[in-house]
Amino acid sequence: MAQRLHYGPAMTGLNFPDQVLLDKLAALLGPQGFITDRDLIMPWLTDWRERYHGESIALLAPGTAGQVASIVQLAAEARVALVPQGGNTGTVAGATPPKDGSALLLSLRRMNRIRSISADDNAVTAEAGVILSDLHDAAAAIGRRFPLSLAAKGSATIGGLVSTNAGGTQVLRFGPMRALVLGIEAVLPDGSLLEGLATLRKDNRGYDLRQLLTGAEGTLGIVTAAALRLVPAVASRAVAWAGLATPQDALTLLRQLEERTGEAVESFELVPANALSLVLDKIPGARAPLEQACPWNVLIEAVDAQGSADPVAALEQALSTAIDQGIVLDATIAASEAQAAALWALRESISEAEKIDGPSLKHDISVPVAEMPAFLDRERQRLEARFPGSRIIAFGHLGDGNIHFNLLPPADADRTAWIDRHGAAASAMVHDLVVAASGSLSAEHGIGQAKLAEFERLTDPVRLNALRSIKRALDPLGIMNPGKLVPLASGDKAQ
């Protein structure tokens, strides 16, 4: 297995921030944008899952793209690393600075203006620090919607969502962030400002820089704003919860719903009995959606944008046919917005319930959709047999072939000690099984620092070399979020 590398200055040839640089940054940003108060910095030095802790002598919070460009120019001159950060909800510690304090934390949260929004253009231009739920509200105010949502929507920012190519619960119909980004404004590692915010649907001028920056995890530049696609607002929606015996039944149901309701199905989220029990146990106010507990469940959302079809009737009919066929064991359709929200809360609370429950091993995997049911059955058994007492909690976006395949240590074990002892081997086994199934060890969360060693171990050298070449070409000094996403090769030390 690949060694976990230490990415401090000794390895990268970068410098620690000195007083000269700090004075210049303080003068540039003023007290609002140059923060050295430990109490204000501390919450941003640990990742959302609280597994990685970093250090930074200052938190830089620019208010404009011009200030970001000046920060990057100063950092490049001084050869000091920058770690961009949005809402810090990423799950692979991509926004956590290194432990040795060699990097400066660059928060985009103050840049939170919606610069323009147009129903005619079906587009919005939002600064990097705009929070996802605020973008949803702005789109709703003009009769449109931004069709990407996830449980961290109250904190995740546009810059972070672009930089991780976030997925979420509507990928089935609208694709991930990549499919919604029309343009990007970003500061490149030499401090120049790439102005690419035109909301063009067609633009064939060679290499697509906006796609290169999407999913780059801050390693190729700092996203300062993005132009994003909007779609018509929802006229009506139906939210249902169905209980099933197997993941294969869930996939059969999805395909039937697609055939019967056209493009209406936007979300199809798989929830096993053990994930639902965890939510019912840990989240105050959570209530079981069905009378009988079923081995597997799906949360389904079907929508209508034109106001011509009735998604509730369509879903009701399709589910009752599936019950008659024995595919669905039991089902309920929300009778009000409050009930719909309560069903969604069950799904969206799983990560929070896991966090409250204690440490577990997280794997954000994808395999071809048709393979997923067999993968879940077969590999859960193999893992639980190899690590006796451990349990798999496998939930998420079945329709995208993306499941969060998490492993809980045995109930009677000290979880932290168990993970220290078996975690690396268990995760390696999961990733090996995923690769054998032609899958990906990171479906939507990215690589960050948490998956870096496994990414290096399991990635084709041709692909790794191409990534390294792009990184070297755009960031020859290596100041952009070093130690994340792109594993260093020997010879990558800055000259």
Residues that bind ligand FAD (CB under 6 A): 48, 83-91, 94-95, 108, 128, 150-152, 156-157, 159-161, 163-164, 166-168, 217-218, 222-223, 351, 444-445, 448, 481, 484
DSSP 12: H
Q: Which one, 161 or 328, has the nearer CB to ligand FAD?
A: 161
Q: How far is the CB of 165 from ligand FAD (least distance, A)?
A: 8
Closer residue to ligand FAD, CB minimum distance, 157 or 427: 157
CB of 134 to ligand FAD, least distance (A): 12
Q: What is the DSSP letter of 423?
A: H
Continuous segment of H or E residues that includes residue 117: strand 114-118
Question: Judged by CB, which is closer to ligand FAD: 351, or 427?
Answer: 351
Nearest to 160 by CA among 69, 74, 72, 93: 93
Q: What are the b/e assignments for 246-261, b being 16+ CB within 10 Å?
A: ebbbbbbbbebbbebb
From its phi and psi, is residue 401 left (phi > 0), alpha (psi between -120 and 50) or beta?
left
Q: Which residue is nearest to ligand FAD (CB)?
A: 160
Nearest to 222 by CA among 436, 377, 67: 67
Q: Which is nearer to ligand FAD, 298 or 327 (CB)?
A: 298
State the nearest-atom distance from the C-beta of 486 to ligand FAD, in Å: 12
The backbone torsions φ and ψ at residue 46, rounded to the nearest 5 degrees and listed phi first, read -120, 145
How far is the C-alpha of 88 from the C-alpha of 443, rounded, in Å?
19
Q: Which helix (H) or strand (E) holds 296?
A: strand 296-304
Q: How far apart are CA 251 and CA 292, in angstroms?
A: 21
**Least distance from C-beta 151 to ligand FAD, angstroms?**
4
- Residue 4 DSSP one-character state: P
For ligand FAD, which is the closer residue by CB, 153 or 422? 153
Least distance in Å: CB of 132 to ligand FAD?
8
Name the residue type at position 287: R
CA proximity to 49, closest of 488, 457, 449, 453? 449
Nearer to ligand FAD, 125 or 163 (CB): 163
At CA 458, angle to CA 453 and CA 460, rounded to 5? 120
Cβ-proximal residues to 202 (8 Å cutoff; 6+ apart), any chain: none
Shortest CB 381 distance to ligand FAD, Å? 26
DSSP assignment of 355-418 equals: HHH---B--EEE--GGGHHHHHHHHHHHHHHHSTT-EEEEEEEGGGTEEEEEEEPPTTS-HHHH
- Compare residues 86 and 247 and give the one whose CB is closer to ligand FAD: 86
Q: Token match 């220290």: residue?
A: 420
Q: Which is nearer to ligand FAD, 423 or 448 (CB)?
A: 448
Residue 97 CB, nearest approach to ligand FAD (Å): 9
Q: Report in angstroms how near the CB of residue 158 gets to ligand FAD at its nearest.
A: 8
Nearer to ligand FAD, 222 or 315 (CB): 222
In the complex, least distance from residue 482 CB atom to ligand FAD, rounded to whole angstroms: 11
How does strand 81-85 pair with strand 103-107? parallel
> How far apart are alpha carbons 47 and 451 in whole angstroms?
14
Closest distance to ligand FAD from the beta carbon of 108 (Å): 4
Nearer to ligand FAD, 63 or 410 (CB): 63
